[in-house]
Amino acid sequence: MRVAGSAILVAAVVLCLRTAAVPVLADGDRPISLIALPPEAGETAHESVVLSAQIESDEGPVGGLSVNFYIVTTVFGERLMKVGEALSDASGTVSVVYRPTWTGDHTVVAHFDGASGYAAAETSFHFDAQVAESAFEPADFGLNPIRRVLPFAVGMAVLVVWASLGFALVNTAMGIRSAARAAPVPSPVQASTYPVFIPPPPVAQDQTARRLAMVVALLVVVAGVPLIWFTLNVSDRGHETGVVADGLIPGDHHTEPVAGQPLPATLVRSVQTVKFDENGQPTSGSVPIPADLAITAGRVRILDSTGGRIVTVAPDGELIPIQQGRGVDGTSLKGSPAMSSLGERLFVVSARGDRIVVVDESGLIEGSIVPSLPAGQNPVAVTGIALSDTGRIWLSDAANHRVLLLNGRGEFELVIGEGVASSSDQGFDTPTGLAVDEDGNLYVSDTGNRVVKKYSSLGILLQVIGEGRLETPQGVTVNAAGRIFVSDTAARQVSVFAPDGSHLGSITDPNLEEPHIVRTDGDDLYVLDSLAGMLVFRVLEAQVSVP
Amino acid sequence: MDRPFETEAHDIRAAAVTPILQPGPLFWPLTLFLSLIVLAGAVAMFQQLMFGLGVTGLNNRVSWGFYITDMVFFIGLSYGGAVTSAILRLTNAPWRAPMVRLAEATALVTLLIGSLFPIIDLGRPDRMLNLLLHGQVGSPVLWDVVAINTYMVATVIFLFLPLIPDMAICRDHLGPAAGRLRKLLYDRLSLGWRGTPGEKNILERNMTVVAVVIIPLAVSVHSVLAWLFGMTVRPGWNSTIYAPYFVVGALFSGVAAVIVIIAAFRQAYHLEAFITEQHFKYLANMLLALGMAYGYFLFAEVLTEGYKMEGVSMGEGSGSLLQEMLLGRYALLFWGFVAGGLVIPIALTSLPLTRNVPGIVIAATLVVVAMWVKRFLIVVPAMATPLMPMDWGAYWPSRVEIAITLAAVAAVPLMLMLFFRIFPILSIYEMEEFAEHEELETGPEASGVAAW
Amino acid sequence: MAVSRRDLLKGLGGVAALLLAGAVGIGRFPLSLAGGQTSHKKADRQWGMVVDLRRCDGCKECTGACQVTHYLTNDQEWIKVYEVETENGGTVFMPRPCMHCEEAPCLKVCPVRATYKSDEGVILIDQDLCIGCRICMAACPYDARYFNWWDPPKPPEPFDNPMPEFPVPQQRGTVGKCVLCVHYTAEGRLPACVEACRMDAIYIADLTTGVMTNRSGETYQLRQYLQENDAFRYKEELNTSPRVWYVTGHGQSLDRKNQG
């Protein structure tokens, strides 16, 4: 009773009644107090309790005030469980009915927070939950008598069957022996029944059969070797998991891409994006699902789409979050699938393509570009974004098999694609990664068609790259020399093509597991791998010479 | 020919042991060829053991695929032995005698192969013993284990009993041509048989016992296999007719397999004198009847499912299981099965023009292949059906699964060829018994059931 | 007939011997005849879950947190977020953990009793027993089970003692699924997905005390909350009695597509 005019709350229960006095923070010149009322006999049944309180000020009872009642739970630490809210009547009385769900001591907290003041009160009572109303309905597991009887019935049937079989076998064996004893005639075999066997005359080995045999033997050798090779050739693990082919549709059988010669590349750096502290817990910088990677001003940024943030990869491999939470306008990067850089800025596109968040080099959200698109062109699943030097924005929409071009203000300029999966010049089947070269040409990783397509900035197809060389092209990037790097997720490699589209080779490092994003920075090739994290390769110019 | 099955005792014996003594010039190359396919399967199996089931095309959506299909298929094939042998024995059809050995051996071989597939399909085959040590009788998998093993023992006994007198014949008459090991084997397996009436009586009696036991056993095995699926709530599997449906399907494919195997060995070992066109016509009658029964089950299934539009799909842009089966992604396989497994075989076996050996064998071959496809259509689409709001699951078998399946297919003729290098290809005893009874004009009723 | 008494006795003797052997065999092996294993004693806590679909924004934080906690590969989504199309063309996100059914179909079909119901009502898998037959995956109507097709990732040192309550690391060739983080709840900590849900959409519930609570401490009386918010259980018609409730409210539009 710290303050004059105390508030008292009473929990009226059947078995036990305790009261506690709790202060009320009075509102200026109009002090208010809560006074508890004892319950009337018979007011409570065995399954419920009336929690009641009375609000009084110096001038008497106060009506029309809202009071919340809570029970303290301890299942996960002390937590307040709201059980009801009621308004005080003209006599200042507030009461709610509470149906306890467990046996034991209950601590009640009443809370009043209004324009006229703030008050919290606490008391406790004991409740014996004989008819506790719990949501838990223990199931009678053996509700089904068949399942009780079945094992015994089946067991007996099985035993009878085994017994009959055993009987037949044992009886035959023993019977033959005893029958033999009963007939003492020592005949080797009854000649009258069994005429003496004369081996059949040897079949003339005719030449056609012999020749046929040789042909078959030859077939064995010709067919057997590839057969063994065929089965031996599956050991590259991860390969099979990467490709989940569609249902058994005729003509849908994937053809294996032609393997390119391995391209020498040195792994210069490897950063696992999920890190653990000494307790085995992931560190705050951990990125469980790295979505995209960009390099601005020499810094490597990784988009963490689950965390809704951008992290910088420090030179020592540590991941430092530079952008978390929401921008001033409430935008979040959560769920964003891709980002691109232009100058110092990062452009992060949302999954539905309805917002492109612009992040500056320090991680602050500068603002958003909201695309304005004609009806029917709204993307459903954006998988890639690329910016030209002039600030025009390309977006790939994997679900609608389209690629959209917006200007710097987000206004619609151009669309490539037919809205359905297609393998035509102006069509895609699940376009994913995008890249723009220095001339403003666009490279689209057409995953379903297993090629990379090159378009002019006006959307005219210039080139189809990597036909028969790619299995699941995803990320694509172009370096200053015009070389095209394509991450082939299922094939676990990064394929490299010359500017004219010829295949230079593939980087097949054992560390590559599911490479999905590629970016270049000078000689360095950054690969973002959904399992292996970030890998950096150095591909020397001399080694990438055109063969 | 008024007595199509009558032959002389001497000829029976000579023909029955020809594969043992003179298997022909094609035997070894063919054995080598089939062994290589089996070896390729073994290599694939080894890889699967090394790397885990990830080498298969299975995934978390479609977690049963080729292996379970193969299991149902091969165990189904083993029904041919049960029906042509046990049922015909109980009904005392004398024409069965020349083909029971081939049918029973086919049953055993396909059962041995089929029973391997649940083990191949296990993620941890090393823990197989847990089925005994921690078995839970409420599980359909355990029912399978018990039923298949029991059926296998019964099949072995069923094959072994009529083999006892044949072993005695081989023991006494093959002489040094048999070789030392075979001689020892004949000696042991003939159990001292001398062919007295008392011995014959005991043998007949017990063969009847086993024939009586093996029919409900065979029915139980495939019912239990059906319940492996039927005990789940998946669309397509959640069906009450599954057990009889599976049993009829197994009989259908089993008879077809027996026709194919008999035709092949008849051709290879020149058994035309014993296994006549009439045999094929009788078997074709069974195939025809079973095919119609299976077609009826299929119709009943499709009608009751389709009428109520059960299993409405949750996924975007895809229909229910039945829609996908009849018109969608599985339509080609489904209608391929209907045409190749029901319509064409029924036509071939019923039209007088094609009711001859080549026509019947073509029909049976089509049925065997189509029934594999049907099993695939039972297993995979039901697994791929979306149970949650998402698209259809995807499955494409990996090379490991294809290799193991091919190896199993190759193992059937291989094991049969090797089997008949040791055991007579014809049931000499039974054929001679019938020949004898015909001579005595007591009729076939005197043997078999009547003795018991 | 030619059946001698001697033969008959021998035959009967054989049958008796076989029956005896069978009986001994069944007695020898602890075959469960009750069908399915369930604990008859009930613990003080019975865990369940409530998901408020009005709040879920489909960010999949729960999935990621679960995978990090249990050292899972990306394809093992023990709590998986589905995107459900609604009639008016929008979408609702629906996280799906294991439903921990009272009448769990997976539990009934397991041939080796590897799947069992713990005292706390959580369906767990003893991966030391599992033979990898995958019939439980076929039986689960919620697609909540995942198979370890390859060797699972190796966690750091302190976590190399897998147990059903905390199956880390997973074992190749066995089935894994959501364990409702019972290793956390036992210590009074929230499950990883509940802790990770920034939208406060996922509640952990104790069914015996009837209390549900989420990451930010909102705590309600379970039964009251379920009734007031028209909670439903997914695929109720299957009679699996799931322990996960979903809340869609009273017909408010939940569509995400129409929101900015």
**Domain residue extents for chain C:** 1-31, 47-247
User: Cβ of C111 and B135 within 8 Å?
Assistant: yes
Q: pLDDT at residue B291 above 60?
A: yes
C-alpha distances out from residue C176 to A301, A404, A531, B118, B395, Å: 34, 42, 20, 20, 21
Distance (Å, rounded) from C-alpha B205 to C-alpha C4? 13
Q: Position B349: which residue type? A: T
Q: Which helix (H) or strand (E) segment is A122 a member of?
A: strand A117-127
Distance (Å, rounded) from C-alpha B165 to C-alpha A172? 12
User: Cβ of A178 and C61 within 8 Å?
Assistant: no
User: Cβ of B192 and A176 within 8 Å?
Assistant: yes
Measure C70 CA to nearest chain A CA, in Å: 10
- Pair of tokens at residue A42: 């018979």
| Residue A77: band (very low, low, confident or very high) from pLDDT cuts 50, 70, 90 | confident
% of chain B surpassing 90 pLDDT: 49
> In what side-by-side order are the strands of the sheet with A412-416?
A382-387, A393-397, A402-406, A412-416
Query: Within a domain: residue B404?
Result: yes
Q: Position A487: which residue type? A: S
Residues of A in contact with B329 (CB under 8 A): 247-249
Q: pLDDT at residue A245 above 60?
A: no
* B271 part of contact set with chain A, CB < 8 Å: no
Residues of B in contact with A234 (CB under 8 A): 44, 47, 55, 398-400
Measure B295 CA to nearest chain A CA, in Å: 24
C94 to chain B: closest CA residue = B389
The pLDDT, as a whole number, for residue A6 is 30
* B206 part of contact set with chain A, CB < 8 Å: yes
Measure A115 CA to nearest chain C CA, in Å: 24
Mean pLDDT value across residues A164-193 = 68
* Reported pTM: 0.69
Cis peptide leading into C169, omega within 30 of 0? yes
Whether A484 and A497 have beta carbons less than 8 Å apart is answered as yes
User: Cβ of C31 and B137 within 8 Å?
Assistant: yes
| Residue C247: band (very low, low, confident or very high) from pLDDT cuts 50, 70, 90 | very high
Interface subset of A 223-252, CB within 8 angstroms of C: 237-238, 241
Mean pLDDT value across residues C31-36 = 41
The pLDDT, as a whole number, for residue C78 is 95
Q: pLDDT at residue C168 above 50?
A: yes
The pLDDT, as a whole number, for residue A24 is 43
Query: Within a domain: residue B271?
Result: yes
Across the interface, of B25, B192, B210, the residue whose CB is closest to A210 is B25
User: Cβ of B26 and A216 within 8 Å?
Assistant: yes
Q: Where are the alpha helices (DSSP H) in B78-162?
A: 79-81, 88-90, 97-120, 130-133, 140-160
Phi, psi (rounded to 5 degrees) for B192: 75, 25
Measure B28 CA to nearest chain C CA, in Å: 38
Q: Could you read off the pLDDT of C190-234 as tens digits, one per residue?
A: 999 999 998 899 999 998 888 999 998 899 988 889 988 889 999
Residues of A in contact with B323 (CB under 8 A): none
User: Cβ of A197 and B213 within 8 Å?
Assistant: no
Better-scored residue on pLDDT, A136 or A405 = A405
Across the interface, of A155, A171, A177, the residue whose CB is closest to B192 is A177
Q: How many Cβ pairs within 8 Å bridge chains A and C?
A: 164
Measure C209 CA to nearest chain B CA, in Å: 31
* A178 part of contact set with chain C, CB < 8 Å: yes
User: Cβ of C221 and A83 within 8 Å?
Assistant: yes
User: Cβ of A234 and B400 within 8 Å?
Assistant: yes
The pLDDT, as a whole number, for residue A71 is 87
Distance (Å, rounded) from C-alpha B260 to C-alpha B170? 27
Question: If you average pLDDT over every residue of chain B, what do you get?
Answer: 86
User: Cβ of A151 and C33 within 8 Å?
Assistant: yes
Interface subset of B 392-421, CB within 8 angstroms of A: 392-396, 398-400, 403
* B377 part of contact set with chain A, CB < 8 Å: no
- Pair of tokens at residue B329: 């992604």
The pLDDT, as a whole number, for residue A430 is 87
Residues of A in contact with B37 (CB under 8 A): 224, 227
Residue B101 C-beta-side C-alpha neighbours within 13 Å: 29
What is the CB neighbour count within 10 angstroms for residue B35? 18
Distance (Å, rounded) from C-alpha B166 to C-alpha B38? 30
Instruction: Tell me which CATH code domain A266-544 carries.
Output: 2.120.10.30
CA Rg, chain A, in Å?
A: 40
E-assigned strands of A380-498? 382-387, 393-397, 402-406, 412-416, 431-436, 442-446, 451-455, 461-465, 473-478, 484-488, 493-497
Interface subset of A 5-44, CB within 8 angstroms of C: none
User: Cβ of B136 and C32 within 8 Å?
Assistant: yes
| Residue A343: band (very low, low, confident or very high) from pLDDT cuts 50, 70, 90 | confident
Q: Which residues contact B412 (CB under 8 A, 6 or more apart)?
A: B77, B106, B109, B110, B113, B261
The pLDDT, as a whole number, for residue A91 is 80
Interface subset of A 336-375, CB within 8 angstroms of C: 352, 354
Whether A69 and A80 have beta carbons less than 8 Å apart is answered as no
Most confident stretch, A7-11, C18-22, C110-114: C110-114
Across the interface, of B59, B403, B436, the residue whose CB is closest to A231 is B403
The pLDDT, as a whole number, for residue B319 is 61
User: Cβ of C130 and B127 within 8 Å?
Assistant: yes
Instruction: Tell me which CATH code domain C47-247 carries.
Output: 3.30.70.20
Whether C113 and C133 have beta carbons less than 8 Å apart is answered as no
Q: Could you read off the pLDDT of C42-80 as tens digits, one per residue?
A: 677 889 999 999 888 888 889 988 988 888 888 899 999
What is the CB neighbour count within 10 angstroms for residue C181? 27
User: Cβ of A253 and B396 within 8 Å?
Assistant: yes
DSSP collapsed to 3 states, B181-218: HHHHHHHHHCCCCCCCHHHHHHHHHHHHHHHHHHHHHH
Residues of C in contact with A152 (CB under 8 A): 33
Of A365, A445, A450, the C-alpha closest to A403 is A445
User: Cβ of C139 and B233 within 8 Å?
Assistant: yes
Of A269, A275, A301, the C-alpha closest to A287 is A275
User: Cβ of C131 and B131 within 8 Å?
Assistant: yes
Q: Could you read off the pLDDT of B61-109 as tens digits, one per residue?
A: 999 999 999 999 999 999 877 777 888 888 878 888 888 899 999 999 9
Dihedral class, residue B256 (left if φ above 0, else alpha if ψ from -120 to 50, else beta): alpha
C-alpha distances out from residue B338 to A141, A427, B134, B355, B376, Å: 43, 37, 42, 20, 14
Better-scored residue on pLDDT, A99 or B142 = B142
Better-scored residue on pLDDT, C14 or C24 = C14
Q: Where are the alpha helices (DSSP H) in B231-353?
A: 242-269, 277-307, 321-326, 331-337, 344-350
Q: Position B382: which residue type? A: A
Mean pLDDT value across residues B442-448 = 39
Phi, psi (rounded to 5 degrees) for A19: -130, 155
Q: Which residues contact A417 (CB under 8 A, 6 or more apart)?
A: A397, A400, A401, A402, A403, A426, A427, A428, A431
Give Cα B118 to chain centroid, integer Å.
16
Mean pLDDT value across residues B213-226 = 89
Instruction: Tell me which CATH code domain A7-127 carries.
Output: 2.60.40.10
Query: Within a domain: residue B201?
Result: yes
The pLDDT, as a whole number, for residue B317 is 45
The pLDDT, as a whole number, for residue A150 is 67
DSSP A195: P
Whether A5 and A58 have beta carbons less than 8 Å apart is answered as yes
User: Cβ of C33 and A531 within 8 Å?
Assistant: no
Distance (Å, rounded) from C-alpha B19 to C-alpha B287? 28
Residues of B in contact with C80 (CB under 8 A): 388
- The count of structural domains within chain B is 1
Query: Within a domain: residue B449?
Result: no
Whether A203 and B22 have beta carbons less than 8 Å apart is answered as yes
User: Minimum mean pLDDT among A280-284, A377-381, B105-109, B447-451: which range?
Assistant: B447-451
Q: Which residues contact A403 (CB under 8 A, 6 or more apart)?
A: A394, A395, A396, A397, A415, A416, A417, A428, A431, A434, A442, A444, A455
The pLDDT, as a whole number, for residue A271 is 83
* A289 part of contact set with chain C, CB < 8 Å: yes
Q: pLDDT at residue A463 above 80?
A: yes
Q: Position A287: which residue type? A: V
The pLDDT, as a whole number, for residue B23 is 81
Q: Position B311: which residue type? A: G
Q: pLDDT at residue A348 above 80?
A: yes
Across the interface, of C29, C139, C173, the residue whose CB is closest to B53 is C173
For chain A, the chains sharing at least 3 beta-carbon pairs closer than 8 angstroms are B, C
Across the interface, of C34, C145, C147, the residue whose CB is closest to B123 is C147
Q: Which residues of B289-316 are buried (b: 16+ CB within 10 A; e: fewer)?
A: bbbebbbebbeebeeebeeeeebebbbe
> Which residue, chain included where needed, has tokens 């959501």?
C178
What are the residues facing A526 on neighbouring strands? Answer: A519, A536
Q: pLDDT at residue A543 above 50?
A: no
* B332 part of contact set with chain A, CB < 8 Å: yes
Distance (Å, rounded) from C-alpha A162 to C-alpha A160? 5
Domain limits for position B416: 9-432
User: Cβ of C61 and A75 within 8 Å?
Assistant: no
| Residue C106: band (very low, low, confident or very high) from pLDDT cuts 50, 70, 90 | very high
User: Cβ of A531 and C73 within 8 Å?
Assistant: yes
Across the interface, of C32, C76, C105, the residue whose CB is closest to B232 is C105
As for the ipTM of the complex, it is 0.84
Query: Coil, helix or strand for B68?
Result: helix
Across the interface, of B118, B138, B197, the residue whose CB is closest to C108 is B138
Residue of C128, C143, C149 for testing the chain B interface, max B β-carbons within 10 Å: C149
For chain C, the chains sharing at least 3 beta-carbon pairs closer than 8 angstroms are A, B
C147 to chain B: closest CA residue = B60
Better-scored residue on pLDDT, A183 or B353 = B353
Measure A347 CA to nearest chain C CA, in Å: 18
Read off the CATH number of the domain in which B160 is found: 1.20.1630.10
User: Cβ of C82 and B388 within 8 Å?
Assistant: yes
The pLDDT, as a whole number, for residue A47 is 66
A200 to chain B: closest CA residue = B14
Q: Position B350: which residue type? A: S
DSSP A299: E
